[in-house]
């Protein structure tokens, strides 16, 4: 799903995580990247601007005359946390509304069919895992169900007359388009045999930032759809008129239907008749699932996506940022010592003003980096080290309890290093600890007595004590961890060399300590570059999740926090420093020296 959404300007929305330009086309096997440094309001940059506003607002609460508990401050934090793009999809039943959303998300997950749905609003929002949350009428109770059971609650076949009293069905999907702020609202069909459906749809229109009205070549613009257009137009909301099922008409028939529609729309819109988007949602979905770019373009779907994104980026979100700047400025004006915060806000406002509407590129990348799951597992090298260490320590503590040779060897090694001492303590029973470490304690005592007999000065005494300490090179657990890491790095490198992009898609979130060893093993600059860019994507994604987490906590919107945002802090620590139980000696200097030129060449 997340691998088949839109590519916006220089940000990544179609396949990988955002942060690096994607190839825009392929010529003779070579990928061409869009120019770097272009200042455009893409969705990633918009998110960073929101974070900057939250930072300014957070700093403003440090002034004596303002605190986070003030209603105006809470409201601003809440607005920043709740910001999303509500896109209502309306039309007669069987127009293909759900098929269109499936096509835009690149996943056939929402149920479709000709049976009129009940008067239940289905929303589609971002979630770490596929899930449906059912909200019921006249109660705050909710029920989580698998997405496979959705049809049992939102169709007339499964829920006739809405006897289950479902108010809304919130479908959560890990699609990047949804993560970037799109919030789809799939309404019941207009003009169906259930008149309540039409009333439910029209009542929900005020929630919309924009509206997609679906009609079709088979019977364009019903009376209910025309009335809905009048309502949307009167509300001042943007409407995108989609004529679906173009695959059922030839070129001449399409021109005839579109000309007829424009004539019908003129009494509503006058000379400002909005553009009509001719497409085939079914063909678009099939092409996106196959990765067929030519058929995707022929389906007409990318043209609609470009228009939606232009509206979202260049109008709605720019307007939102400017409005938030004005509201925060009004708060700062009350604080006599807020000059620094006001200057930061003015600079941000100038940056927003400097952005100009820009065309949105919608072709799918020719060779995108591997898609990354929101539940990406932790470093696979760390995992191998942790498992190997646990097995070693479990066996070692048993050997220490009765094998005098093993006890003597541990004493000669001066025991475990600090981190592995405590890992040993967590596994071993008190008897094994006492049996195994008696010799270590006696050896250290003898070493200190010998040092004391020499009556050393302060510096020499310090050296004598340090000589008694175990090091990563003498610690038996460190030795096991090093060998386990070398084997795991070698296995991972061999897989990447052999399988290329297929292996890259399955690569875990390699921690930085093990990443240095991995790129040294790879050698190939192109492969090193791909791995480094992927890991940069991982860190940028984690950074965004941490910003989202803080913003939602500041806005008292914990219910909007996703599982990955809650876990982002700990996951970031493990990517930066490795698993806490995968401790080992740092990389040998010779290895580091081999890695540095590789990284430099990869970044050139």
Give the pLDDT confidence of 292-306 residue by residue, as tens digits. 889 999 999 999 988
- 238-244/210-216 β-pairing: parallel
C-alpha–C-alpha distance, residues 304 and 306, integer Å:
5
Under a CB-based contact definition with an 8 Å cutoff, are residues 9 and 179 in contact? no
Q: Take residue 74 and report the two structure tokens written for it.
A: 């809470």
End-to-end distance of the chain based on CA atoms, in angstroms? Answer: 33
Under a CB-based contact definition with an 8 Å cutoff, are residues 425 and 456 in contact? no
Residue 21 in this model has a pLDDT that exceeds 60: no
Phi, psi values for residue 123, rounded to 5°:
-105, 150
Q: How many CB atoms lie within 10 A of CB 441?
A: 12
C-alpha–C-alpha distance, residues 559 and 570, integer Å:
20
C-alpha–C-alpha distance, residues 26 and 335, integer Å:
55
Q: How many CB atoms lie within 10 A of CB 165?
A: 12
Residue 544 in this model has a pLDDT that exceeds 80: yes
Under a CB-based contact definition with an 8 Å cutoff, are residues 118 and 154 in contact? yes
pLDDT given at position 242: 93
C-alpha–C-alpha distance, residues 108 and 2, integer Å:
12
Phi, psi values for residue 395, rounded to 5°:
-75, -35
Which residues lie below 8 Å from residue 555, measured CB to CB, with a gap of 6+? 74, 77, 78, 79, 80, 81, 82
Phi, psi values for residue 171, rounded to 5°:
-90, 125
What integer best gives the mean pLDDT of the chain? Answer: 78
C-alpha–C-alpha distance, residues 195 and 189, integer Å:
9
> Domains of the chain (ranges plus CATH)?
43-82+300-357 (no CATH), 84-295 (3.40.50.300), 373-604 (no CATH)
Tell me the pLDDT band of 254, cut-offs 50, 70 and 90.
very high
pLDDT in tens, 473-515: 888 999 999 999 999 999 999 999 998 888 888 888 999 999 9
The pTM for the full model equals: 0.67
Query: Which of these ranges, 262-271, 309-318, 341-350, 489-498, has the smallest mean pLDDT?
Result: 309-318
Q: Take residue 224 and report the two structure tokens written for it.
A: 């209910």
Residue 347: is it exposed, middle or buried by C-beta count within 10 angstroms (0-12/13-18/19+)? Answer: exposed
pLDDT given at position 485: 92
pLDDT in tens, 53-75: 888 888 777 766 665 556 777 77
Q: Take residue 321 and report the two structure tokens written for it.
A: 């940022």
């Amino acid at each position: 799903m997340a691998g088949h959404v839109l590519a916006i300007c220089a940000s990544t929305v179609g396949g990988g995580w955002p942060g690096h330009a994607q190839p825009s086309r392929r010529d003779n096997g070579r990928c061409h990247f869009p120019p770097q440094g272009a200042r455009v309001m893409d969705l990633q940059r918009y998110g960073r601007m929101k974070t900057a506003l939250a930072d300014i607002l957070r700093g403003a609460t440090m002034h004596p005359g303002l605190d986070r508990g003030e209603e105006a401050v809470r409201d601003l934090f809440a607005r920043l946390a709740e910001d999303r793009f509500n896109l209502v999809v309306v039309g007669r039943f069987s127009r293909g509304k759900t098929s269109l959303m499936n096509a835009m998300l690149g996943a056939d997950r929402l149920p479709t069919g000709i049976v009129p749905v009940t008067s239940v609003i289905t929303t589609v929002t971002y979630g770490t895992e596929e899930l449906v949350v059912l909200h019921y009428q006249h109660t705050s109770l909710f029920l989580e169900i698998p997405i496979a059971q959705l049809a049992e609650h939102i169709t007339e076949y499964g829920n006739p007359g809405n006897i289950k009293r479902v108010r809304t069905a919130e479908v959560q999907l890990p699609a990047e388009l949804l993560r970037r702020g799109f919030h789809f609202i799939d309404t019941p069909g207009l003009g169906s045999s259930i008149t309540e459906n039409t009333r439910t749809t029209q009542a929900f229109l005020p929630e919309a930032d924009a509206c997609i009205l679906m009609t079709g070549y088979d019977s364009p613009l019903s009376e209910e759809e025309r009335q809905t257009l009048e309502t949307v137009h009167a509300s001042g909301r943007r409407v995108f008129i989609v004529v679906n099922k173009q695959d059922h008409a030839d070129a001449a028939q399409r021109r005839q239907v579109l000309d007829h529609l424009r004539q019908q729309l003129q009494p509503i819109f006058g000379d400002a008749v909005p553009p009509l988007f001719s497409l085939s949602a079914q063909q678009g979905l099939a092409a996106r699932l196959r990765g067929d770019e030519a058929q995707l373009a022929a389906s007409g779907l990318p043209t609609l996506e470009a228009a939606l994104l232009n509206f979202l980026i260049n109008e709605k979100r720019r307007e939102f940022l400017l409005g938030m700047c004005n509201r925060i400025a009004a708060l700062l004006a009350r604080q006599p010592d807020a000059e620094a915060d006001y200057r930061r806000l003015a600079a941000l406002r100038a940056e927003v003003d400097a952005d100009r509407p820009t065309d949105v590129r919608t072709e799918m990348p020719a060779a995108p980096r591997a898609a990354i799951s929101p539940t990406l597992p932790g470093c696979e090298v760390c995992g191998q080290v942790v498992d190997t260490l646990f097995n070693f320590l479990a066996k070692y503590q048993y050997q220490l309890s009765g094998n005098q040779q093993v006890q003597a060897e541990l004493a000669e090694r001066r025991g475990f290093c600090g981190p592995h001492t405590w890992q040993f303590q967590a596994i071993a029973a008190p008897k094994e600890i006492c049996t195994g470490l008696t010799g270590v304690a006696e050896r250290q005592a003898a070493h200190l007595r010998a040092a004391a007999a020499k009556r050393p000065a302060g510096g020499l005494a310090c050296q004598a004590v340090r000589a008694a300490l175990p090091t990563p090179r003498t610690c038996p657990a460190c030795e096991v961890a090093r060998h386990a890491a070398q084997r795991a790095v070698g296995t991972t490198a061999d897989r990447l060399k052999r399988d290329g992009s297929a292996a890259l898609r399955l690569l875990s979130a390699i921690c930085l300590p093990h990443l240095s060893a991995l790129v040294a093993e790879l050698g190939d600059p192109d492969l090193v570059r791909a791995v480094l860019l992927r890991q940069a994507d991982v860190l940028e994604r984690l950074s965004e999740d941490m910003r989202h987490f803080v913003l939602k906590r500041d806005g008292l919107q914990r219910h909007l926090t996703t599982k990955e945002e809650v876990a982002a802090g700990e996951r970031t620590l493990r990517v930066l420093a490795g698993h806490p139980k995968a401790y080992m000696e740092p990389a040998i200097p010779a290895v580091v020296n081999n890695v540095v030129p590789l990284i430099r060449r990869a970044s050139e």
